[in-house]
Amino acid sequence: MAKENYNASALKVLEGLDAVRVRPGMYIGSTGVKGLHHILWEIVDNAVDEAANGYATKVEVVLYPDGSASVRDDGRGIPTDIHEKAKISGVELVFTQLHAGGKFDNDNYQYSGGLHGVGASVTNALSEWLHVEVYKGTVYQMDFRSYYDAAKKKFESGIPQGHLANTGRRTEEKGTFVRFKPDANVFETTAFQLETITKRIKELAFLNRGIRFSVSDLRPENASDEGETFYEEYCYEGGLSDFCKFLNENKTPLYSKPLLFQAEKSNILVEFAIQHTSDATESLVSFVNNIPTAEGGFHETGFRSGLTRALNEYARNAGFLKEKDANFLGEDFKEGLTAVLSVKMKEVQFEGQTKSKLGNSEARVPVETVTYEGILALAAERGAKSLFESIIKKAQGAAKVRLAVQQAKKEARAKSDIDNLKLVGKLAACTGKKPELNELFIVEGDSAGGTAKQARMRQFQAILPLRGKPLNVEKKKLAQVLENEEIRSLISAMGTGIGSDFSEDKLNYHKVIILSDADYDGFHIRSILLTFFFRYMRPLVNAGHIYIGMPPLYKIYKGDVVEYAYDDKELPAKIEKVGKGYQIQRYKGLGEMSAEQLWDTTMNPQTRNLMQVSIEDAAEAENMVTVLMGDRVEGRKEYLLRHASFNRVDAFKDIKDKK
């Protein structure tokens, strides 16, 4: 347990705050929506760290009509005494000095989160104003503001409006309250997204069992039809077990209750929950110090290794594997596996495309050991025999399919199938030999494919037309996936292989762009392809190789003046720009465009709009793919009734009526 004697002397000062406003992207990733929420997560994570280390029982988030947000916890409260070296209070230190806090040694927090360790000072620096209250028998408060100093000709960020004040108000409460308003001079938007916040808070509630989280949204635009403002509480006594159940809501579990285990090894706390389902695919979501690790890392490697070793040992001891039989492979146990892995450790190092990959190699062995010992301990419990037999039988079926696929691949290679599939008439390859510069456009149908082939720059752009809809791979086994000609063509064109043969290093195109029509069929094809990449080539998504092309929906023109609108919201502004007497064309498909139009609007790197596909929340992505692409109609219907708008006015029709 960390120190109870938590005062200003525990705070270590690493550097100042000057550069934050100059280059905010260095500290919060971007000044878009993701960066906006990042400054909220920094405050939330401080509260969660108090709870995770046993000092707080609740965390409350409130969104206000003026655009501000607040976070409150009932922890120890930020130190209010004077720091010996800095000669200011602990509160002022935390909010004005970058990397100042109680988490830079192991005395005050056993484990701590924080997305990049930049702390509350960055939230202060990028806010119009910030107000903090600390409850320690009496109420302390302090205010900060950011403003433009005309004399200095620069913005002053997070300036204290006086030192920490003891208000003299007595209180029996304890903890910290922070309210801040993001600065519109910094962020592209200052509107917090309720859905983004509730998803993350719900996730934190799963990861911190028994801690009560709440979200209140006092903004009138999110009130109910009856005028009630949004309020939701999240508290899960089952922790990761409840998380596992949540992920499997729209699946059919093989056993009713997830297996849950927790232990500490080499100062690393490891907790995992697993539950197998009738599905063919795996869902593993992992976290380090409450931070999602969508790109995996050494903890996932250790978990998989420990799980495989333990289940093989059980299978052999129980007689499922004879002396002459080879062990099951890890991929055999992955089929239908839903798992949540949470690791808490010190001195965390994040790597990867989005800083969501654990780089601490020392985590692998402890996680593997805890997983191995935990699975065998669970298997030895009374009544566990039938449960573990169902897991082994599931692996037996997967192994049979794997061996059959291997045999089919051998035969296929002999016939120049799959890996050496001739794509004459399908793939129009590019001439460039550098994968990092090459682009693959996956287009819908021969008509669009023909236009795209004429429009492209053949030096670095390749075109793969799809003839019909690819297979929806959700709920399909690998053998079934490989039977689909469109999927086989895609695998061959990309060069990475699939399944156990997959290798990201062999990718032929570092930009893989889904270019479908802007209609319902096009959206369906896009969803099918994204499901395929998510299930069978997820490292490409994590690494940022998958994109969605954004073709225009409308062409607005008058004489030589041409404007394109990419959605209904853009249309009125584009019409106004062209002026009276305009004509309008609604594109039903890419094939309606000329090669020149397709190049100018959709394929030219200088003028096109691309949407990079990423996984911000692996657990939410897993749940969404299952709901929308799975075979459980009830779950999909419930989602559509909750989120779809059936009363949307058609913007094009509305404009035609007014014209």
User: Is-contact 623 246, C-beta < 8 A?
Assistant: yes
Across 211-235, average pLDDT: 93
pLDDT confidence bin for 300, thresholds 50/70/90: very high
Candidate ranges 367-371, 431-435, 482-486; pick with highest mean pLDDT: 367-371
Q: How far apart are CA 618 and CA 94, in angstroms?
A: 31
Q: Does residue 234 have a pLDDT over 60?
A: yes
Mean pLDDT of 603-608: 92
pLDDT in tens, 577-586: 999 999 998 8
Q: How far apart are CA 127 and CA 124, in angstroms?
A: 5
In a 3-state reduction of DSSP, which class is residue 476? coil
Q: Which two tokens stand for residue 169?
A: 């108000």
Spatial neighbors of 431 by CB under 8 A, at least 6 apart, are: 458, 459
Dist. CA 441–CA 267, nearest whole Å: 48
Q: What average pLDDT does range 590-605 have in this prediction?
A: 89
- Mean residue pLDDT across the chain: 85
In angstroms, the first-to-last Cα distance of the chain is: 71
- Most confident range (mean pLDDT) of 105-119, 329-343, 517-531 is 329-343
The whole-number pLDDT of residue 410 equals 63
- Give CA torsion, residues 645, 646, 651, 652, to 10 deg: 140
* Burial class for 431, CB neighbours closer than 10 Å (0-12, 13-18, 19+): exposed
Of the given ranges (32-46, 109-123, 483-497, 610-624), which has the lowest mean pLDDT? 109-123
Average pLDDT over residues 326-351: 92
DSSP string, 464-532: EEESSPPP--TT--HHHHHT-HHHHHHHHHH----GGG--GGG-S-SEEEEE--SSHHHHHHHHHHHHH
Q: Can you state the percent helix, strand and coil of the chain, rounding each to 5?
A: 40, 25, 40
pLDDT of residue 436: 95
pLDDT top residue among 587 and 344: 344
Q: What's at 225, amino acid-wise?
A: D
CATH topology of domain 8-234: Heat Shock Protein 90 (3.30.565)
- SS3 of residue 579 by DSSP: coil
Q: Nearest 5°: CA angle at 394, between 293 and 391?
A: 70
Cα–Cα distance list, 344 to 269, 419, 654 (Å): 5, 42, 55
pTM above 0.85, yes or no: no
pLDDT of 517 > 70? The answer is yes
Which of the residue ranges 232-236, 289-293, 466-470, 534-538 would you say has the lowest mean pLDDT? 466-470
The pLDDT value given to residue 402: 83
Mean pLDDT of 514-528: 84
Catalytic residue among 351, 519, 570, 616: 519
Fold agreement between 8-234 and 420-551+610-616: no
CA distance 216 to 71: 10
Q: Residue holding tokens 């399908």? A: 426
pLDDT above 90 (res 19): no
One CATH from 1.10.357.10, 3.40.50.670, 3.90.1170.50, 3.20.20.140 for 420-551+610-616: 3.40.50.670
- Rounded distance, CA 634 to CA 611, Å? 30
Instruction: Please state, in angstroms and as integers, the Cα–Cα distance from residue 650 to each residue in 570, 641, 646, following that order.
Output: 13, 19, 11
For residue 50, give the DSSP letter. Answer: H
Residues whose CB falls within 8 Å of the CB of residue 95, separated by 6 or more in sequence, listed in order:
120, 121, 124, 130, 132, 142, 144, 158, 160
pLDDT of residue 115: 46
Gap between the Cα atoms of 246 and 214, Å rounded? 18
Contacts of 12 (CB under 8 A, 6+ apart): 99, 100, 101, 102, 104, 105
pLDDT exceeds cutoff 90 at 15: no
Q: Pull the structure tokens for residue 153.
A: 């000709």
How far is the C-alpha of 19 from the C-alpha of 13, rounded, in Å?
A: 16
For residue 115, the SS3 value is: coil
Note if 444 is an active site residue. Answer: yes
Asked if 525 and 470 touch (Cβ cutoff 8 Å), the reply is yes
pLDDT for the residue 655 = 44
pLDDT at 545 over 90: yes
Q: Look up residue 236 and give its two tokens.
A: 């899960």
What is the pLDDT at residue 154?
Answer: 80
Reply yes or no on whether 517 is catalytic. Answer: yes
Among 521, 596, 638, 654, the active-site one is 521
- Active-site entry in 444, 474, 486, 600: 444
Supply the DSSP symbol for 558.
E
Q: Say if residue 108's pLDDT is above 60.
A: no
Instruction: Map tokens 């023909």 to a residue.
Output: 450
Contact (CB, 8 A) for 277 and 252? yes
Domain ranges of the chain: 8-234, 240-407, 420-551+610-616
pLDDT digits (tens, 9 = 90+) for 169-220: 999 999 999 999 999 999 999 999 999 999 999 999 999 999 999 999 999 9
CATH 3.30.230.10 fits 240-407, yes or no: yes
Confidence of residue 111 (pLDDT cuts 50, 70, 90): low
Catalytic residue among 133, 517, 600, 622: 517
Alpha carbons 499 and 371: distance in angstroms, whole number? 24
Length of the chain: 659
Higher pLDDT, 10 or 307: 307
User: Helix, strand or coil for residue 549?
Assistant: strand
The answer on pLDDT for 11 being more than 50 is yes
Q: What percent of the chain has pLDDT over 70?
A: 85
